[in-house]
Amino acid sequence: MSDQDSIPHPEPSTPENPPGEGRSLADPYIEDYLDRVYAPLVGVIPYTRRRDLIDEMRSHLYELVQTRREEGAEEEEALREAFRQFGPPRRIARAWIEAESIPWTRRQGWLASLLTFGGAALVAFLMVASPYSGGEDWFQRRNLGYADIWAGLVLPLFAAILLGYHARARVYLTSFFVLSAMILVASLLYLADLPSGASYGGFSSIYEFFAVVLGLYWILLAFIGIGIGTAFRRLVRWARLTPHLSLPYRFTPE
Amino acid sequence: MERELLKGNTPTLILAVLEEGPLHGYAIAREIERRSDNALTFKEGTLYPALHTLEQQGWVISEWRKTAGERDRKVYTLTPAGRAALEERTRRWDRFAHAVDRILKKQERDEESPSLPPNSAWLPELHPGG
């Protein structure tokens, strides 16, 4: 590839030292590796800073390779070890994207979570506490609209899928559990006041049973919805224009 | 568990290393490795986003430095605000580590709080004889 005894040291591009002029030949494998870190950052980090941080990483990589060479490793082995020690390029790119965008993503996620689950929780609670249901059997109610079913049962599923697609599910799963717990407690407290009807498996009314089922349904919903959303996001990423960047990085010297 | 703990604490480790003096990224990685006696390993590339976050928070400053005959290096220096942040985090870590120690190690508990009741105080039927 290059001289046996020396690794080429390109000069990093600083404002005083722009690339292209008088730069020695860079190691193609290191440049390829850096390209894979660089590519996902286009549009996320502005050009000057992107170039700067790539220069920094290049410097680090060269030092890693040099240390290995001084310890007696062959060039290929030194490169492989350096890449392994530095980390997979995708993970580094992702770490950079997170460092850039975390506050907004979290805020966006909390807002989305609040609006969707909060809204659906409110509607479901109203369903249970509706003035129609006082003392009447739930199955006898003819005026239960499709809107109630849609809002209380189906919409939260869509909300969970959206959250799973857009964001890291763990945080929003927490908020979901909080809201589910709240609606469960609120429903049970409210229903404690209703006149007791026929017994339904230990619950004093069908509405109490319904409130518990709803809470459990929502917890199940979170897992299903967020799972679907995450799977969908992976599918979309896999199908994008740069499929080779989605594959794990393998150092393959030619 | 080690990896999760390390991920959250990488910024703190960087601050601690920089307390001794300014360093560039490669040297910070080596120093963390050296001080932990090779017990802590992590992907070195993830240092740089962490350094950038620290810089945004005003806890370190960076500058490119030319060295004679060598490539330029971006050197990071701890700021006074960074020093204060490091102190605070060290305190928090000490409290946390001490609390976990107390739960895990009977000897430490016995030394500090000899009057703590044993498990049998909660469930005497499961621990006959105390």
Q: What is the ipTM of this complex?
A: 0.81
With a CB-CB cutoff of 8 Å, which residues 16-45 of chain A face chain B? 17, 37
**CATH (domain of B77):** 1.10.10.10
Q: What residues of B are in contact with residue A86 (Cβ under 8 Å)?
A: 43-45
CA angle A41, A101, B75 (to 5 degrees): 70
pLDDT in tens, A170-209: 555 555 666 666 666 655 555 555 554 444 444 555 555 6
B74 close to A (CB below 8 A) = yes
Binned at pLDDT 50, 70 and 90, residue B107 comes out as: confident
Are B25 and A95 a contacting pair at CB < 8 A? no
Q: If you average pLDDT over every residue of chain A, what do you get?
A: 68
How many other CB atoms are there within 10 angstroms of residue B14's CB atom?
27
pLDDT one-digit tens code per residue, A53-66: 999 999 999 999 99
Among all chains, which residue has been given the structure tokens 């894979």?
A36
Q: In sequence order, what are the beta bridge partners of B24?
A: B75
Average pLDDT over residues B24-35: 93
Tokens standing for residue A89? 């390029």
Closest CA to A93 of A48, A62, A57: A57
Q: With 70 as the cut, is the pLDDT of residue B18 above it?
A: yes
Q: Give the residue-averaged pLDDT of A236-240.
A: 69
Q: What is the DSSP string of B31-53?
A: HHHHHTTT-----GGGHHHHHHH
- Establish if B44 belongs to a structural domain: yes
Interchain contact A101–B (C-beta under 8 A): no
Looking at the predicted structure, is the pLDDT value of residue A140 above 90? Answer: no
CB contacts, 8 Å: B73 with chain A? 59
Q: Answer whether residue B130 is part of any domain.
A: no
Domain residue limits at B26: 2-89
Model confidence over A90-139: pLDDT tens digits? 889 988 887 875 444 556 666 666 666 666 566 555 555 554 445 554 44
pLDDT over 70 (residue A227): yes
Question: What ranges do the domains of chain A cover?
Answer: 1-87, 103-239
Are the CB atoms for B53 and B38 separated by under 8 Å? no
What are the structure tokens assigned to A252, written together?
């393959």
Q: How many domains does chain B have?
A: 1
Sign of torsion over alpha carbons A78, A80, A83, A89: positive
Could you tell me the sign of the dihedral formed by the alpha carbons of A80, A86, A87, A90, in that order? negative
